[in-house]
Amino acid sequence: MSVIKNNLTSIQDSIIQHAEKNHKNAENITLLAVSKTKPNALIQEAYAAGQRAFGENYLQEAVDKIKSLKVLNEIEWHFIGPIQSNKTKPIAQHFDWVQSVDRLKIAKRLNDQRLDTMKLSDNTTPMLPLNVCIQVNISEETSKSGLSTADISELASFIEQAQGLVLRGLMAIPQKNAPAETYINMQQLFNTLQKQYATVDTLSMGMSNDMAIAIASGSTMVRIGTAIFGAREAKA
């Protein structure tokens, strides 16, 4: 059995274990395979093992991969990296999801550009609106992207009415060794948003090192890189 297949199986098993322990349904927890810096061959290997959702951080690298892996039906691409406002177009054109939207200007550009792309797509494979998670700076680190909790509702209400976007939920990258309270705060913000908007079903929280506490706090999507593909080379 391939190493990647092995890793995917053991992560799926531990998602099930953590879900059961917390009386949650593991079927409601999506595993996002974070493939940044990893070559196409490894993505294909994960796909062959049944993995469908992949997360990327670096735009040019991601667009190259998306273009060359077009043959993989059902593959789903999530942009999870910081977004510069002059780089929104390739995200709108090529991705299924964007999880790192943290300001109105970005959401507006993504909406306009997605609508343009949807108009140009042919009828046999119509392009759907872009699924969006709002990134919340839950640990309030000045260096990290994400908006502060007070600003969620304004951005959410814009995304909700935007025809090119679908509001799916919230994403967070808690600080290393963040207290349980941080995760619970995210859970509460998510619950509030879910009550307001019918399309909200995603709390994207948890990486290789904090998957257990994230699932205990209601995460519906864990973003795992290292535990699937191994350590990354430092990005130059």
Ligand X SMILES: *Cc1c(COP(=O)(O)O)cnc(C)c1O
Residues linked to residue 33 through DSSP beta bridges, in sequence order = 54, 224
| Cα(152)–Cα(144) distance, integer angstroms | 16
Specify the residue, 193 or 222, whose C-beta has the smaller distance to ligand X.
222
Specify the residue, 14 or 208, whose C-beta has the smaller distance to ligand X.
208
Which spans in the chain are helix H?
3-21, 40-48, 59-68, 88-94, 104-120, 152-161, 180-196, 211-216, 226-229
The angle subtended at Cα 201 by Cα 196 and Cα 204, nearest 5°, is 115
Q: Are 136 and 172 in contact (CB under 8 A)?
A: yes
The angle subtended at Cα 72 by Cα 45 and Cα 135, nearest 5°, is 85
CB of 49 to ligand X, least distance (A): 17
CB of 123 to ligand X, least distance (A): 35
| Cα(231)–Cα(218) distance, integer angstroms | 27
Specify the residue, 106 or 115, whose C-beta has the smaller distance to ligand X.
106
Specify the residue, 130 or 227, whose C-beta has the smaller distance to ligand X.
227
CB neighbour class for 99 (10 Å; exposed up to 12, middle 13-18, buried from 19): buried
Give contact residues for ligand X (rule: CB under 6 A).
34, 36, 57, 80, 173, 207-209, 223-227
Specify the residue, 57 or 115, whose C-beta has the smaller distance to ligand X.
57
CB of 133 to ligand X, least distance (A): 11
CB of 208 to ligand X, least distance (A): 3
b (16+ CB within 10 A) / e for 210-222: bbbbbbbbbbbbb
In the bound state, the residue with its beta carbon closest to ligand X is 225
CB of 198 to ligand X, least distance (A): 26
| Cα(66)–Cα(52) distance, integer angstroms | 13
CB of 53 to ligand X, least distance (A): 12
Specify the residue, 33 or 115, whose C-beta has the smaller distance to ligand X.
33
